Amino acid sequence: MDFAERNRFYAAVKAMPAIAGVAMRDTALQNFRDTMAEHMNLSIFINVIFAAIIAFGVVYNSARVSLSERSRELASLRVLGFTRAEISLILLGEIAILTILALPLGVAIGYQMGRLIMAQFTNEVYRLSFVVKPATIAWAWLTVIAATIVSSLLVRRRLDRLDLVAVLKTPE
Q: What does the H/E/C string look like for the chain?
A: CCHHHHHHHHHHHHHCCCCCCCCCHHHHHHHHHHHHHHHHHHHHHHHHHHHHHHHHHHHHHHHHHHHHHHHHHHHHHHHCCCCHHHHHHHHHHHHHHHHHHHHHHHHHHHHHHHHHHHHHHCCCCCCCCCCCCHHHHHHHHHHHHHHHHHHHHHHHHHHHCCCHHHHHHCCC
Residue 8 located in a structural domain? no
Q: How confident is the model at residue 111 (pLDDT cuts 50, 70, 90)?
A: very high
- Average pLDDT in the 133-138 region? 92
Does residue 99 have a pLDDT over 90? Answer: yes
Residue 75 located in a structural domain? yes
Least confident among 19-28, 41-50, 56-65: 19-28
Q: How confident is the model at residue 142 (pLDDT cuts 50, 70, 90)?
A: very high
Residue 34 located in a structural domain? no
pLDDT (0 to 100) of residue 112? 96
Q: How confident is the model at residue 16 (pLDDT cuts 50, 70, 90)?
A: confident
Residues 6+ apart with CB under 8 A from 151: 56, 59, 60, 63, 95
pLDDT (0 to 100) of residue 3? 72
Q: Round to whole Å and give the CA distance between 132 and 73.
A: 44
Closest CA to 164 of 83, 64, 61: 83
The number of domains in the chain is: 1
Residue 83 located in a structural domain? yes
Q: Round to whole Å and give the CA distance between 115 and 168.
A: 51
pLDDT (0 to 100) of residue 161? 81
The domain containing residue 160 runs over which residues? 49-169
Residue 108 located in a structural domain? yes
Residue 81 located in a structural domain? yes
Residue 138 located in a structural domain? yes
